[in-house]
Structure formats: structure tokens, C-alpha cells
Amino acid sequence: MARISLDHIRHAYGPKGQANPLYALKEVHHDFDDGGAYALLGPSGCGKTTLLNIMSGLLQASDGRILFDGKDVTNLSTEARNIAQVFQFPVVYDTMSVYDNLAFPLRNRRVPEAEIDKRVRDILKMIDLESWARRKAQGLTADQKQKISLGRGLVRSDVNAILFDEPLTVIDPHMKWELRTQLKQLHRQFGFTMVYVTHDQTEALTFADKVVVMYDGEIVQIGTPAELFDTPKHTFVGYFIGSPGMNVLAAGIDGAIAIVGGERVALPGRPIIPGEARTELGIRPEFITLGREGTPTQITKVEDIGRQKIVRANFAGQPIAVVMDEDMEIPSEPKLQFDPKGINIYANSWRVDFAPTGMGG
């Protein structure tokens, strides 16, 4: 396994040396730790596959270098980088048996047959295809074939990293959960460096120790699921993570007070705003109380989501979502209160810190 360093990587599709290139991947300068389990999360077209293919060597970045354990591999092929990659759709040899498909990467590297047998049997068990081992792959469903692709990605223990590009798209929902859990176990057991591309936040948050959130060709935050939830660095992260996402309200700042429409909201401190900036207040629906105290509101919609309900309302003229327990009553004259510890302030969409207490204000 290896630490993967991306050194000022950028990529624009199209001919090299074009004037004003359009970067599908803006500057990425980051290390992926040896043995880390990462998810690359973001909406369609934000550059996840581009970044993954640059790591594997399927794509040459327009600028920058890539290093494995400090060694420059920028000009090496995927094979020379010693990477296993699992794609969205199955890549299997139809005329080979399931067993031989799994053994293929090991036989290629002349691993002794006894060791191959042990590894292949372990993988067959994991992907639940033991009884299919001797059958040809061509008779299998797309779902089963994808499990073989996944198994082939996992069968070697000597790879520098395993890269997954939305590998569970064709797998049925129940099996998806099971395979994700097994991937996680495997990661704990063998400490592979794993990078997993997905646009599904549940998949990302359950698989990864660290989630890399991408937006419009950029990494906007790298953090644990808790960090992404508590302190989204960019309003996009707040909106993308969580269901419903964070409320983002246009707000003026006056010391330790935010002014939203005509309302004054107490902040946990004095935000440090860099010069002239467009400022916003972010608060997750879980940190808003709807009751008999606070600022009067009008409710526009109530959605039942099982044990909880999502209440759509407005705050000083801006739409807002509140999450309440199913059995909590909505008063006839509803009012909203914000919990200061759940408030983040954004300047030009990026989160700012609060000044340490004692600095005035």
C-alpha cells in the first residue's frame, strides 16, 4: 500500500497547450494517506472520475505530478503503478470460469497456486459466489458479474491502492449494503489504501473514514462524516450532506449578531469576515426549534419521514427547513429559535472562524 500525493494537479480535456483551457479539474494538491479509506463524493460532472483516472494512470493530467510514497509515477502506466481498479460496469472474461476470472490477476504475477487457491476461495465467500466457482462467467447476471469485478479488484494483497468508480451501481440494494460492509471489514483487516467514487452520500459516509467532497472541479472539503456535518467548510457541503441539507440564509453581520431580513440572530461569537464579502448564515434543520418562543413564522409544508417530520417554513422572508420528532406538536402560532452552537457563518460561500472570546464585541 502507498501514500498517494497529488502535487498541483490540474486537468483540461482537449489538446494540450490550448489558450484559456476549461479545467474539468482545478488545482488539487493533497495527500491520500497510506491505508486510508476515502470516498470522493460530489454531483455528476464535478470531476470525480477525472481525478480517479489521474491517480490510476488511465489519464495523464495536463499539469502537476503524482507520487506514490514520494516516488514520481506521473509518467508510469496503470500496470506499473500497481493499482487495482473497479469500474461502474462489469469487466469479466465470459469464457473463463468464475474461479479463473478471480485467479487471473494472481496467475499473471506468478503467485504460487496454493496461495491463489486460498485468496480466491476467500473472495468467493465474500462475494457469495462459492457455488458458482466452476461455472463460466457468461451465464451470470450483471449483478453477479459486477461482484466478480469487485472480487478481482480485491484479490491481490500487494497493490498500492484499490480505486472504485461507483462500483455498486448495478448491484441490488440489499447486496449493496452487504458488500459495502464487507469492503469496510476488508479495509480494517488488510489496511488497503482505498479510494471510492460515488455521488451517493450514504455510500460515502458509511464506507469512508475521510470523505473528499468535490464541487465544480474542486475539492471543497476533506473531513470525517462528523466534520462535514458539524462544520461544512463551503455552503455546498452543507447543502449536499444531510437530508434535508443545511439552511443557508443571506445575512448581514454586526459584531456577534447576524441580521437576517429584519431579525437579529445571536451568534456563538464574532465572525472574522475578510474585508468586503457576501455573508450568509448556515444552520442545519436539526438545530432549529419550532415552538412557542422566538421569531414568528409561517409554515408552508409538513413532510412525514417516519420517526421525524420536516417542516418547511420561512424565517424573515427566507425559506427554511426544520426537523422535528414525529410526535412533537406544532403550535397554532409557531415560532422559531436557532441554537447558536449549530450556526456557521460564510463569507463568499466559505466558512469563517469566530474570534476567540476576549477580543471584544
Nearest CB to ligand ATP, comparing residues 228 and 322: 228
Stretch that binds ligand ATP, among 39-47, 92-100, 146-154, 289-297 (CB under 6 A): 39-47
Burial class (CB in 10 A: 0-12, 13-18, 19+), 341: exposed
Stretch that binds ligand ATP, among 47-55, 123-131, 149-157, 218-226 (CB under 6 A): 47-55
245 near ligand ATP, judged by CB under 6 A: no
Q: What is the nearest approach in angstroms of ligand ATP to the Cβ of residue 184?
A: 22
The residue within the footprint of ligand ATP, chosen from 2, 6, 47, 163 (CB under 6 A), is 47
Q: Spell out a b/e string for 23-56, using b for 16 or more CB atoms within 10 Å of the CB, else e.
A: bbbeebeeebebbbbbbbbbeeebbbbbbbbbbb
How distant is the alpha carbon of residue 162 from its chain centre? 16
Cβ atoms of 102 and 148 within 8 Å: the answer is: yes
Q: What is the nearest approach in angstroms of ligand ATP to the Cβ of residue 163?
A: 12
197: enclosing H helix or E strand = strand 194-198
Instruction: Tell me the pairing of strands 83-86 and 161-165.
Output: parallel
Instruction: Tell me the pairing of strands 295-296 and 335-338.
Output: antiparallel
Binding map of ligand ATP across residues 202-241, x = CB under 6 A, - = no contact: ----------------------------------------
Q: How far apart are CA 285 and CA 247, in angstroms?
A: 7
Q: How far apart are CA 215 and CA 157, in angstroms?
A: 33
Nearest CB to ligand ATP, comparing residues 15 and 173: 15
242 near ligand ATP, judged by CB under 6 A: no
Binding map of ligand ATP across residues 94-113, x = CB under 6 A, - = no contact: --------------------
Q: Which among 60, 63, 133, 149 has a CA at the least distance from the CA of 98?
A: 133
Q: What is the nearest approach in angstroms of ligand ATP to the Cβ of residue 222?
A: 16
Q: How far apart are CA 314 and CA 242, in angstroms?
A: 19
Q: How far apart are CA 331 and CA 350, in angstroms?
A: 36
Please give the grid coordinates belonging to residue 76: 508510469
139 near ligand ATP, judged by CB under 6 A: no
10 near ligand ATP, judged by CB under 6 A: no
Looking only at residues 49 through 78 of this chain, which bind ligand ATP when binding is defined by CB under 6 A? 49-50
Please give the grid coordinates belonging to residue 353: 472562524
195 near ligand ATP, judged by CB under 6 A: no
Q: What is the nearest approach in angstroms of ligand ATP to the Cβ of residue 215?
A: 10
Nearest CB to ligand ATP, comparing residues 15 and 274: 15
Looking only at residues 311 through 340 of this chain, which bind ligand ATP when binding is defined by CB under 6 A? none
Q: How many residues bind ligand ATP (CB under 6 A)?
A: 11
Cβ atoms of 309 and 302 within 8 Å: the answer is: yes
Stretch that binds ligand ATP, among 44-52, 63-71, 151-159, 257-265 (CB under 6 A): 44-52
Cβ atoms of 358 and 317 within 8 Å: the answer is: no
Nearest CB to ligand ATP, comparing residues 15 and 358: 15
How many other CB atoms are there within 10 angstroms of residue 125's CB atom?
11
89 near ligand ATP, judged by CB under 6 A: no
199 near ligand ATP, judged by CB under 6 A: yes
* Residues binding ligand ATP (CB under 6 A): 13, 24, 42, 44-50, 199
